[in-house]
Amino acid sequence: MHPKDQKVKEILRALAADFFSRTSNRQSLITVTDVELLSHGGRANILVTVLPEDAEIKAVEFANRQLTDFREYVKKNSRIARIPYFEVKIDIGEKNRQRMDELGKLV
């Protein structure tokens, strides 16, 4: 990955974490784990984990409803030239890693 893309990913991850922390209703904890840049930066997936797990669907739906406001937040709080269109998704890789950690502790 190009160093510029890596920097954009980190900026977007930090902004997303701050934005969702400010706008959430605190019924669940939304943690931004990563950002995937797609289509040469024209699209981005914001990967999240949610606690408690039974609130995942509602939390992702909430986050996806907030994406228009999030784009405006990114415009105001960064100097990224090309603001991507976002989608929020559950970070399956992180969930699998956490499950492996749990299983490792049982051994």
Each domain of the chain, given as residue ranges in start order, spans: 3-106
pLDDT at 95: 74
CATH code of the domain made up of 3-106: 3.30.300.20
pTM (global) more than 0.85: yes
Listing from the earlier edge strand, what are the strands of the sheet with 43-51?
Answer: 29-38, 43-51, 85-90
> Over its length of 107 residues, how does the chain's per-residue pLDDT go in tens digits?
788 889 999 999 999 999 999 998 888 999 999 999 998 889 999 999 999 989 999 999 999 999 999 999 999 999 999 999 999 999 988 777 777 887 788 76
| Cα-based angle 95, 18, 26 (whole degrees, multiple of 5) | 70
pLDDT at 10: 96
Which DSSP helix (H) or strand (E) runs through 31?
strand 29-38
DSSP alpha helix (H) spans, 1-107: 3-23, 56-65, 67-77, 92-106
